[in-house]
Structure 1
């Protein structure tokens, strides 16, 4: 079985980030801590983002240091292992302050990664 490509991981990451932003777009901070369904959506998508970020190759992480790979993976680990300590104001801040930039930056990174993977595939044939 072959290892998933970085492009696949980045697509997963982009989809999860877009999904959480879309689901929370009509919500505000006072509503968020009171809405368990939206909290569940945000936490699950942040876990997916962190898992995808952790599984991106070291070469890609080094090539794109502006993306906070370790921070995304660290948030995933915190949510999974310290779920009772999750501060929903921090989650709200992460979603509203950090994810929009990530969502806007990822398409160009993804395009470059796909090109690199295609070149590598063509050179190995």
Structure 2
């Protein structure tokens, strides 16, 4: 099995974050807390985001410490292994406070990573 490129992992991260924000954009906390389907959607997308963040290269993580890669991966691990202790108010707070700035930050980062990967593949780096 080949190692995924950082650009692929960032694309997965961006897609999951955008999808979650879009899906919850017309919901309130009260609606979210009473809708198990919305909760399942959130947990699934956070799982994807955490898995993608965990597999971004260490070099990229060091270059972009403003993104809390470890926390994203840790949240995924918590959701997967401690699913019975998930606090959905905390999940909601993360959606409304952490994801919006992340989805603004990811597109230019992704563009730069794609450009760097192309340059490396062409032997320009």
CA displacement, residues 64-96 of structure 1 (integer Å, 9 cap, x when unaligned): 111110000000000000000000000000011
Shift of 1:2: 2.6
In the alignment, the residues of structure 2 paired with residue 14 and residue 27 of structure 1 have an alpha-carbon distance, to the nearest angstrom, of 20
Q: Which runs of 5+ in 2 are unaligned?
A: none
SS at match of 2:122: helix
* 1:3 CA displacement: 1.2
Q: Are 1:101 and 2:108 an aligned pair?
A: no
Kindly provide the CA deviation profile for residues 19-65 of structure 1, in whole angstroms up to 9, marking residues without a partner as x. Answer: 00000001011111110000000000000000000000000000111
Q: Does 1:89 align with 2:89?
A: yes
Deviations 1:84-123 (A, max 9, x none): 0000000000011100100000001001101110111001
Partner of 2:18: 18
SS at match of 1:20: helix
Matches within 5 A, 1:37-116: 37-116=37-116
Q: How many residues align?
A: 124
Structure 1 gaps, min length 5 = none
**RMSD, aligned α-carbons:** 0.9
Partner of 1:36: 36
> Where do 4+ consecutive residues of structure 1 move more than 4 Å?
none
Give the structure-2-normalised TM-score.
0.97
* 1:123 counterpart SS class: coil
TM-score (norm 1): 0.97
Distance in 1, Cα, partners of 2:71 & 2:93: 14
